[in-house]
């Protein structure tokens, strides 16, 4: 209590600084053990295997582009350019070291907590709530510590949610036109700019104007009845630019990308009716896991067919009753600022989930979708803390439990096998978890458990082409003691019967034929791979090798150059080169453009700046062409 009294007598700015310092220490305390965790799930495709982020000078043309019919994961998501600018900058300086990627998310998470504290301070003062300023720490702590949010922060590809949420919170704070000690000039233009940046991080920021309307709706209820009309008109003028940004974004997205919603998952989404039918249950599940962190996992195996019509009806009824309870005009609640705070918090929670609750996506339930919604639940939690403050020690215990669960999740994420074992403990039938666990076992050369998982999947889902491709990959693995190329070929052909345009199957079959000496068959499937997916770097490279072996040097040169245009450092990084490339050197070097070779050397030196061999080869090449090495 003595420390609190000392803190409360300091200036506003000093109080904010002390709270920010405490939040920073807490944030770092619960995330420090996650910083060196390896990449998992979409991290592997969007960061490790993504050639688009590897050359900064190439980034502008690879940042925003129309979605392709055969859109693959190993590319920038063109609807999230700001995220991939950050990835490209990190990659430029640190390559694929996981620490800086995680650290950026941690710092943004801390910033979001501070912004929530500042916003809540404003609400306490503006709505004249009967509570001390120190209560504003509660939603900030809830946001920082709740394990469902920490799972988003320690997942590198969760950056889109963390960054977009931080920018939306900053925009909301700017919109409030805060008074001293932190004043902002031109608050509405600044808030609009921040909203645009949030949209460039994740499309779900399109709901930001609805957050403003929710705030003003609650705020106007605090005003005297006589001034409501004039107040509404004034606020509507403030909303106008934000709605203009949202509408403009939707129209531009529709015009450029040709559709709204989950475009990377196009073709794999649930039907609208099925998806909407389970969303009330999903929203209730988000609430439950936000407060009771049991059953958290990186991947939830939930789809509409899991629930009966009765379960869906009960879920809808419970959701409607909960909303009725919160928004019913209770006589005593009408004059209660705390109840208005509960309503505003619940509105934030619902609005944040609105885009993924109305538009079908590949997954019915994803933990990181509720990341910003934790702010709303934190406001609800603060109201209960104020009412039952005599039991403050229970809330402190809750914070300690959340911190312990969060640190445990860091440990889970430190090993990909543990990540997928955790998922299977919750969803034993999950196809994706079983496949990814098998891949993790193969990575550590534990082939027997990997084969058991994949063979079991092949029995359970015999027509899943991706399972067949994964099992074929095991049987064609050079390190697998029971390698069986005939079995692998049969599995890949079966996958193509199920899905003829599956480029993964065509590429795997081409590789199998290449190592078996069936060069014409390999060429055919490499070409088919490139028809479906023109930016497949290894298919270009391997097809070039086959062309060279059959004496088609000009075709080989074109394929190598195509591979190097897509990923200038791929060949050097893979160790398949001598000098520029063993394959490229098999054709006359004077037939390969200087620009392509220079870019390959430069990328090699970015990755290994002290590699004497690459440096010498680079200088030797420049002298041979009589050019100055850039």
**Which pair of structure tokens corresponds to residue 193?**
């700019």
Q: Which of 276, 325, 343, 337 has its CA nearest to residue 304? A: 276
Domain of residue 188 covers 10-413
Q: Per the domain annotation, does 89 fall within a domain?
A: yes
Q: Per the domain annotation, does 151 fall within a domain?
A: yes
Q: Per the domain annotation, does 623 fall within a domain?
A: no
Q: Per the domain annotation, does 131 fall within a domain?
A: yes
The secondary structure element, H or E, covering residue 20 is helix 12-31
pLDDT number for residue 555: 87
Cα–Cα dist 196/182, whole Å = 22
Backbone angles phi, psi at 234, to 5 degrees: -65, -40
pLDDT number for residue 2: 62
pLDDT number for residue 268: 63
Cα–Cα dist 549/539, whole Å = 15
Residues of the chain with pLDDT below 50 are 571-591
Are the C-beta atoms of 433 and 299 separated by less than 8 Å? yes
Count of domains in the chain?
Answer: 1
Q: Per the domain annotation, does 36 fall within a domain?
A: yes
pTM summary value: 0.86
Q: What DSSP state is assigned to residue 176?
A: T
Cα–Cα dist 107/382, whole Å = 24
pLDDT number for residue 608: 63
Q: Per the domain annotation, does 68 fall within a domain?
A: yes
Q: Per the domain annotation, does 486 fall within a domain?
A: no
Backbone angles phi, psi at 575, to 5 degrees: 80, 15
Cα–Cα dist 166/160, whole Å = 10
Cα–Cα dist 528/4, whole Å = 69
State the CB neighbour count (10 A cutoff) for residue 332.
7
Q: Which of 339, 236, 337, 321 has its CA nearest to residue 284? A: 321
Cα three-residue angle 143-9-180, rounded to 5 degrees = 65
Q: Per the domain annotation, does 422 fall within a domain?
A: no
Residue in this structure with the two tokens 């609805």, named with its chain if needed: 210
Are the C-beta atoms of 166 and 113 separated by less than 8 Å? no
Residues whose CB is less than 8 angstroms from the CB of residue 122 and which lie 6 or more positions away in sequence, other chains included? 173, 176, 178
Residues whose CB is less than 8 angstroms from the CB of residue 617 and which lie 6 or more positions away in sequence, other chains included? 579, 580, 601
Q: Give whole-number Cα distances, 82 to 77, 88, 199, in Å.
A: 10, 10, 9
Cα–Cα dist 121/113, whole Å = 12
Over its C-alpha atoms, the chain yields an Rg (Å, rounded) of 28
Cα–Cα dist 92/532, whole Å = 30
Cα–Cα dist 195/108, whole Å = 16
State the CB neighbour count (10 A cutoff) for residue 270.
19
**Which pair of structure tokens corresponds to residue 428?**
């034993």
């Amino acid at each position: 209590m003595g420390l609190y009294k000392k803190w409360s007598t300091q200036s506003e700015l000093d109080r904010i600084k002390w709270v920010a310092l405490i939040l920073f220490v807490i944030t770092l305390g619960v995330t420090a053990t996650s910083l060196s965790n390896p990449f998992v799930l979409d991290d592997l495709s969007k960061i490790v295997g993504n050639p688009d982020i590897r050359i900064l000078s190439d980034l502008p043309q690879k940042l925003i582009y129309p979605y392709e019919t055969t859109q693959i994961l190993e590319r920038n998501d063109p609807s999230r350019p700001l995220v991939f600018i950050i990835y490209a900058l990190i990659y430029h300086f640190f390559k694929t070291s996981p620490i800086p990627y995680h650290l950026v998310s941690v710092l943004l998470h801390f910033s979001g907590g501070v912004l929530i504290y500042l916003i809540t301070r404003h609400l306490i003062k503006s709505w004249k709530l009967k509570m001390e300023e120190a209560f504003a720490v509660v939603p900030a702590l809830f946001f920082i510590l709740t394990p469902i949010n920490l799972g988003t922060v320690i997942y590198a590809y969760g950056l889109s949610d963390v960054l977009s949420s931080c920018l939306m919170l900053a925009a909301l704070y700017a919109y409030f036109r805060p008074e001293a000690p932190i004043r902002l000039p031109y608050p509405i233009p600044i808030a609009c700019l921040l909203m645009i940046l949030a949209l460039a991080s994740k499309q779900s920021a399109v709901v930001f104007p609805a957050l403003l309307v929710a705030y003003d709706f609650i705020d106007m209820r605090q005003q005297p009845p006589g001034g409501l009309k004039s107040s509404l008109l004034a606020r509507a003028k403030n909303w106008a630019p934000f709605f203009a940004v949202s509408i403009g974004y939707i129209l531009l997205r529709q015009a450029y990308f040709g559709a709204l919603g989950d475009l990377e998952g196009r073709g794999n989404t649930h039907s609208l009716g099925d998806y909407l039918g389970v969303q009330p249950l999903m929203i209730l599940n988000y609430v439950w896991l936000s407060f009771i962190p049991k059953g958290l996992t990186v991947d939830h195996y939930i789809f509409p067919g899991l629930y009966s019509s009765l379960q869906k009806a009960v879920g809808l009824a419970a959701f409607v009753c909960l909303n009725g309870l919160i928004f019913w005009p209770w006589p005593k609640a009408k004059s209660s600022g705390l109840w208005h705070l509960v309503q505003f918090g619940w509105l934030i929670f619902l609005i944040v989930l609105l885009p993924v609750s109305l538009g079908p996506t590949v997954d019915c339930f994803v933990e990181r979708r509720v990341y910003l919604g934790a702010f709303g639940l934190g406001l609800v939690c603060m109201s209960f803390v104020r009412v039952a403050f005599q039991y403050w020690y229970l809330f402190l215990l809750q914070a300690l439990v959340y911190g312990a669960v969060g640190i445990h999740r860091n440990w889970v994420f430190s090993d990909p096998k543990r990540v997928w074992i955790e998922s299977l403990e919750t969803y034993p039938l999950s196809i994706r978890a079983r496949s990814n666990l098998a891949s993790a076992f193969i990575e550590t050369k534990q082939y027997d458990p990997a084969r058991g998982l994949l063979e079991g999947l092949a029995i359970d889902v015999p027509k899943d082409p991706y399972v067949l491709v994964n099992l074929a990959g095991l049987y064609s693995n050079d390190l697998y003691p029971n390698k069986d190329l005939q079995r692998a070929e049969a599995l890949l052909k079966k996958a193509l019967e199920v899905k003829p345009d599956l480029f993964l199957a065509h590429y795997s079959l081409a590789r199998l034929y290449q190592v078996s000496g069936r060069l014409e068959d390999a060429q055919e499937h490499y070409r088919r791979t490139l028809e479906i997916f023109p930016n497949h770097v290894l298919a270009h490279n391997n097809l070039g090798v086959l062309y060279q072996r059959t004496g088609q040097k000009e075709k080989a040169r074109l394929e190598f150059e195509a591979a190097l245009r897509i990923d200038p450092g791929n060949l050097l990084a893979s160790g398949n080169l001598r000098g520029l490339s063993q394959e490229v050197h098999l054709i006359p070097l004077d037939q390969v453009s200087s620009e392509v070779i220079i870019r390959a050397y430069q990328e090699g030196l970015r990755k290994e700046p002290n590699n004497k061999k690459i440096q010498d080869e680079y200088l030797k090449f420049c002298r041979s062409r009589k050019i100055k090495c850039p």
